[in-house]
């Protein structure tokens, strides 16, 4: 893809596509439409993607042919490339390096029109299990310091293909937003000798008004400091810094609660576009004891505008207490 560049003022990283840059005319279609044409993620189109990395398959079926239930392929238009070294260098006061990383697509189901709420619990569990498997495999590449797993659903959440898929990006550095969260949690831990996420769990369970759903291993709620209306967090009840080490029982419970809250969101808000992000600890060999992995789901109902960009403040037109009430009742 291209170059990694680092802002000398804020330390923010940017991936610049120097290989196949978009021209002014490319943007209009880029923004508002599905990519169109034959869907490369459907049965029978396996040859339209790069060769598969891994799949959960019906016994006896062969790689890159139909018969898979969850299929992982390299992103055809990766943000970062797997081959090569970082080659960090300065350009005057600026810092840059090569765009090294892995960018994989986890095709969640062979069904083009089935999103998570319409899959079986077992099928959702397969997707989550595959996320863990891929992360554990990529962990062996010592160049990678962080693995981000996320989903863009709907064009206004940044999805360019309609067929349900999750993305995985392995990064050669710990991203800024992750560092911020880790340090916040660490600071609280140092001060109180408690995990801040465990304290959030405790307070939410007492106050109850922001809870949407819970089961043995997970709590789903609208966070007190939601950035977006109808934002939802799913927190594991057991303290654990790391998403990738979940047990089978936990995976099953996560599949159930994720499916449930997405169903509620879809019904209440007319299938809104959304992003969800798995927040987990880095792979740099350090133990992040004060961190607590979780999932943040952000429906795209409002626009981020000048005020948010300029301040980092967010304006939330629906309080999480009210959002949770709607979501619980639907």
Residue 165 designated active-site: yes
Whether 273 and 155 have beta carbons less than 8 Å apart is answered as yes
Q: Which lies closer to its own copies via its Cβ, residue 46 or residue 165?
A: 165
Q: Which lies closer to its own copies via its Cβ, residue 39 or residue 322?
A: 322
Between vectors from CA 318 to CA 312 and to CA 324, what angle results, nearest 5°?
A: 115
User: In the bound complex, what is the minimum distance in angstroms from residue 279's beta carbon to its own copies?
Assistant: 8
Whether 234 and 261 have beta carbons less than 8 Å apart is answered as yes
Q: Which lies closer to its own copies via its Cβ, residue 26 or residue 85?
A: 26
- How many CB atoms neighbour CB 90 within 10 A? 10
Q: Which lies closer to its own copies via its Cβ, residue 12 or residue 216?
A: 12
What is the C-alpha radius of gyration for the chain, rounded to an integer number of angstroms? 20
User: In the bound complex, what is the minimum distance in angstroms from residue 306's beta carbon to its own copies?
Assistant: 3
Q: Which two tokens stand for residue 39?
A: 């869907």
- How many CB atoms neighbour CB 47 within 10 A? 10
Distance CA 73, CA 56 (A): 12
User: In the bound complex, what is the minimum distance in angstroms from residue 101's beta carbon to its own copies?
Assistant: 10
- How is residue 60 annotated by DSSP? T
Whether 107 and 165 have beta carbons less than 8 Å apart is answered as yes
User: In the bound complex, what is the minimum distance in angstroms from residue 178's beta carbon to its own copies?
Assistant: 7
Catalytic residue among 163, 165, 279, 292: 165
Q: Which lies closer to its own copies via its Cβ, residue 68 or residue 107?
A: 107
Distance CA 316, CA 224 (A): 11
Q: Which lies closer to its own copies via its Cβ, residue 259 or residue 294?
A: 294
Q: State the maximum Cα–Cα separation within the chain, in Å, rounded to a whole number.
A: 58
User: In the bound complex, what is the minimum distance in angstroms from residue 304's beta carbon to its own copies?
Assistant: 7
Distance CA 74, CA 50 (A): 6
- How many CB atoms neighbour CB 118 within 10 A? 15
Between vectors from CA 146 to CA 7 and to CA 2, what angle results, nearest 5°?
A: 50
Residues designated as active site: 165
């Amino acid at each position: 893809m291209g170059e990694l560049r680092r802002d000398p003022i804020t330390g923010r990283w940017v991936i610049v596509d120097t290989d196949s840059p978009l021209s002014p005319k490319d943007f209009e279609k880029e923004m508002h439409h599905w990519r169109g044409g034959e869907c490369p993620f459907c049965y029978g189109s396996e040859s339209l993607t790069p060769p598969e990395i891994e799949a959960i398959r019906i016994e006896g079926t062969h790689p890159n042919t139909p018969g898979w239930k969850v299929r992982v392929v390299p992103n055809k238009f990766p943000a970062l490339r797997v081959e090569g070294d970082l080659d960090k260098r300065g350009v005057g006061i600026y810092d840059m390096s090569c765009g090294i990383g892995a960018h994989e697509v986890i095709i969640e189901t062979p069904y083009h029109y089935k999103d998570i709420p319409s899959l079986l619990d077992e099928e959702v569990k397969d997707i989550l299990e595959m996320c863990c498997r891929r992360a554990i495999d990529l962990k062996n590449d010592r160049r990678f310091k962080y693995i981000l797993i996320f989903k863009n659903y709907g064009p206004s959440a940044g999805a360019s293909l309609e067929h349900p898929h999750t993305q995985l990006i392995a990064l050669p550095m710990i991203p800024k937003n992750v560092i911020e969260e880790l340090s916040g949690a660490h600071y609280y831990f140092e001060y109180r000798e408690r995990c801040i996420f465990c304290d959030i769990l405790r307070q939410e369970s007492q106050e109850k008004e922001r809870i949407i759903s819970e089961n043995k291993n997970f709590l789903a709620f609208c966070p007190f400091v939601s950035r977006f209306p109808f934002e939802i967090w799913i927190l594991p009840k057991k303290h654990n810094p790391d998403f990738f080490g979940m047990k089978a029982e936990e995976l099953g419970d996560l599949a159930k609660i994720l499916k449930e809250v997405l169903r509620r969101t879809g019904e209440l808000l007319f299938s809104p576009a959304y992003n969800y992000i798995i927040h987990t600890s880095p792979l740099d060999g350090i133990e992040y004891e004060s961190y607590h992995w979780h999932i943040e789901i952000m429906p795209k109902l409002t626009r981020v505008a000048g005020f948010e960009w300029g301040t980092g403040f967010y304006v939330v037109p629906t309080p999480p207490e009210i959002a949770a009430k709607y979501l619980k009742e639907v």
